[in-house]
Structure 1
Amino acid sequence: MLSLRLVRGGRPLVQARRLLVSAASAGTGFLLLAALGHALSHDGAASSVRRLAWCLVPLGATVYVAVAVSRTDPALRPERGRPPYGLSSRGMRLLTGTATAAFCALGSVAALLLFLLGRGSLSVRPLGDGAAKALGAGFDVPVAAVLTLLALVPVATSVATAALAPVAAGQGTANATPDATSAPPGLPWGVALLAAGFAVRATLGEGTAGLSAKALAGRGGVPGGVVAGWALIAAGLAVAGPGITWLCGRLLQSGHPGAVRLLAGRGLQEEARRIGRPLGVAVAVGAALAAAYGGDATYKATDPLTALGVGLVVGCAAIALLLAAVESRQARTDITAALAQSGTPAATLRTAVAVRAGAVLLALIPLTWAVTVLATLPVGH
């Protein structure tokens, strides 16, 4: 009952974030059901399995944004070192997972309605006969398969958010907070994963780029080495993101910095663990999009399912990055207020924010280009 009250309550902005999770769940659920419809209307099992397997990409993006939203939900965050509502840490994790599952279940219901409308199962075909045929119109839909596919998103997101919920572990957790001046430990591991991804793609991949936009919807032969390589590249960027962001802050403070560079560099170092991972994911998505749409000039992005899948991944990455920026700004409210009270001009604070953003862009844009080039080098046979 408490989870249902949380779903109904909250400010409009909080509800908008929750509805974004529901929308991502609806899109992923519809892609899963579309893969089922394709399997019903086609005899080739390999292509249907490939379509279903590629749905794991938007599924992972949905889980990712659901975790980001739950971590910034004021109703699901511990206050003053203790879980709210008098719950234990275990109870708070259960509450977080249940609330997230409720948001995603709403999206799954919307996906089912859209799927049935597209098939013409509700006596109307607003998407046209072509879409109805692609969704398996005229074939009986197995109820068990539909329920299983629709349950994937709520179950996956609830487990992930419950496992990663920001619950308080005790009164001593404040002392365990890492020092902002210390570098995040993930940079060497991220570089190792990146190198492994490039090596796997070069060793086991075939052709040139190997990744095209139409492959995102499960069409076209994509070597397994390309898929595994890109998965390692994405993981490496996500792990290395905090370290890269911290290094940007360190470089801003190098030489003989003034007040603006000191504030900007120190701020980046303090925010590295919070915004670094979403920045790394954004670089991975940008590099994958550049490789997909730049490596196959013959493809025209006219397939609605392809557009939906790509839009889901890009949208989830952007939302998670925006939420991390908002969370970072909220976390620095006390520091900003203290600087203002000490006489720091407001223009200096605004300039420091702009310098931080510029330093991140100057670092990540070339990194995105380099990853794209290295990941799409021609593979020798």
Structure 2
Amino acid sequence: MLALRLTRAARPAVQLRRLLVAAATGGTGFLMLACLGYAMGHPERAGAAALRLAWCTVPFAATVYFALAVARTDPGTRSRPGLSAVGLGPARLMAVSALTTALSCALGSLLALLVFLHLRGDLTGMPFDGAAADFLAADLPLPVPAVLTLLTLLPAAASTTVALSLRPKDPRPAAPGRRGYGRFGAYGQAVARETFGAYGRFGARFGRRTADDAPSPDDDSGRPRPGADRPAAEDTGARPSAEGGGQDSGKGSGKGSGRPAGGRTGETASVAADGAGPVPGGVRDSGTRTPDMAWSDITARPAKDSPVGFPWGVALLTSGLAVQSYAHRSNLVVLTGWLLTATGLVLAAPGLTHFCGRLLQSIRPGALRLLAGRVLMTEATRIGRPLGVVSAVASAGYAMTMLYAGSAPAFGPLTTLGALLVTGCTVATVLTAAVETRQCRADTTAALLRLGAPAGTLRAAAALRAAALLALFAPLTLVVAAVAELPVPR
């Protein structure tokens, strides 16, 4: 009920994006139903029917990615202060986003079923003089379980993707590596090695204190500490002085306390920092870490300088290009190579966007270039992935056109519909990502305007970012398309 109310009360721009998701879902669902009709009408061509259904994965993936981009820009499901008090925490808002996406996709699947039944003549008679009877199996009854399975695939995949992408994340940093266990159940990351017998050695647990914070023989509770009543004359070992210079005798060290300044008795053998063994006859100076002090549960995490995934993206991109080069126009191999290339471009695009922002700030930048480059570096992942999808779609279309020029059959209605779906979802995803980036930078833009930054400067920075991205990704798309269409000599 809450998802329905948020869907109804949204602004016109949000409703338009949801209707676009429904339209894309309807088109993809109709393509899958058309593949089912072709398989029913041509049972002897099972391989061709399976290949048609495999090609539907391209508009399927484009539609799911577009639905995710729309869910991320939905203002009704954005976390705000005070919503957790009324039961709308991050988990509840994530569930609302998933349900809203499922409603939009379910509407599109219903429209696809109605159009499919209308073209088959099951509702009002055969339209278009029976032109669609060949690939829709109009004279055969539809298997209801197969139809329901195909129509529920996309809403389930889209809502699951939205739920996984928008799930609440723990703001605390994760512990790097496996947790180790030290003496008496102490846990953390070990820096120094333990030596044999360190567990049972008397006074080993009192080695944490240094000469600067050495306690008095009696603590605040009035109870004497172990070894505090031992006379200073029993200190036979030498220890370093407070200045770190020469060695003092044990007699002078017990003045007023009866205990060495390091917090341990002279009879207690200290353990070397490198774990080589005990150091007889004294204690170490205050700057040396003891084995107990070597266990720490806090490890500094290096800050991320650039988006991850760039090496994997380059590897997948080169693998996809190699597969396409050796495909010899085999449809299934071409599809596999194109999917590898597209995945590689999507993974590598955030790193390329981050690198583009660095280039804008190099060689004595001004305020305009600094602002444009810093925004590109900050929004590299949010902007780069849709640009990678656009680059993959454009390079694949250009390569297909050049590779099959003059030899490919004319595009039919279903092929045209699939191409329009992929292109439309890709362009809409880029525009939606631009809207999301603008929403995320709304506070920063307002702060710059309050500080007196001209609005023309902000528009110029946006134009500079667009020009820099176009100058980087346009040649990359042409290079990938040119390499994909290169013939391999045998």
* TM-score relative to the length of structure 2: 0.70
Return the alpha-carbon distance in structure 2 between the equivalents of residues 332 and 109 of structure 1: 37
C-alpha distance in 2 between matches for 1:306 and 1:83:
48
What is the identity, as a one-letter code, of the residue corresponding to 1:283? S
What does residue 74 of structure 1 align with?
75
Deviation at 1:136, TM superposition (A): 1.0
What is the aligned counterpart of 1:184 among 307, 311, 315? Answer: 307
Distance in 1 separating the partners of 2:347 and 2:82: 27
Partner of 2:93: 92
Deviates more, 1:87-96 or 1:153-162: 87-96
Distance 1:341 1:232, change over 3 A: same
Identity across the alignment (%): 51
Distance change >3 Å, CA 128–CA 242, structure 1 → 2: farther
**Distance in structure 2 (CA, Å) of the matches to 1:128 and 1:90:** 52
Residues 67 and 157 in structure 1, CA contact (< 8 A), matched pair in contact too = yes
* 1:377 maps onto 2:378 in alignment: no
2:145 matched to which residue of 1?
144
Equivalent in the alignment of 2:316? 193
Which one has more relative contact order, counting CA pairs under 8 Å at least 6 apart?
1
> Structure 2: where are the runs of 5+ without partners?
174-300
* Residues 332-359 of structure 1, C-alpha deviations (whole Å, 9 max, x = no match): 2222222222222222222111111000
Contact 1:206 1:379 in 2 (8 A): no
**Residues in 2 aligned to 1:53 and 1:349: alpha-carbon distance in whole angstroms:** 45
Pick the structure with greater CA Rg.
Answer: 2
2:371 aligns to what? 263
Asked if 1:19 corresponds to 2:19, the answer is yes
Deviation at 1:68, TM superposition (A): 0.7
The C-alpha deviation readout for 1:10-55, integer Å capped at 9, x for no partner, is 1111111111111111001100110011111113111111111111
Q: Taking structure 1 as reference, are residues 193 and 154 closer, same or farther at Cα in structure 2, changes over 3 Å only? A: same
Kept after mapping to 1: 8 A contact 2:307/2:350:
yes
* CA RMSD of superposed structures (Å): 2.3
Moved more, 294-303 or 155-164: 294-303
Q: Which AA in structure 2 matches 1:182? A: D
What's the CA shift string for 1:208-264, capped at 9, x where partnerless? xx3xxxxxxxxxx5142x222221111111011111111111111111222211111
| Cα distance change, pair 264–5 in 1 and its aligned pair in 2 (3 A) | same
Which of 188, 203, 206 lines up with 2:327 in the alignment? Answer: 206
Whether the 8 Å CA contact 1:22–1:106 is kept in 2: the answer is: yes
Q: What's the CA shift for 1:102?
A: 1.1
Partner of 1:118: 119
Alignment map for 1:170-319 (pairs within 5 Å): 182-202=305-325, 205-207=326-328, 210=329, 221-224=330-333, 226-298=334-406, 299=408, 301-319=410-428
Q: Deviation of residue 374 (structure 1)? A: 1.3
Q: Deviations over 1:269-309 (max 9, x none)?
A: 11212111111111001101111222212246541111111
Q: Return the alpha-carbon distance in structure 1 between the equivalents of residues 84 and 75 of structure 2.
A: 12
Q: Deviations over 1:148-173 (max 9, x none)?
A: 111111111111111112x5435659
Deviations 1:39-80 (A, max 9, x none): 111131111111111111111111111111111111222224
Say if 1:301 and 1:81 are closer, same or farther in 2 by CA, change over 3 A. farther
Instruction: List runs of 5+ in structure 1 lacking aligned partners.
Output: 211-220
> Which residue number corresponds to residue 338 of structure 1?
447
Distance in 2 of aligned mates of 1:314 and 1:283: 11
| Alpha-carbon contact 1:81-1:170 (below 8 Å) kept | no
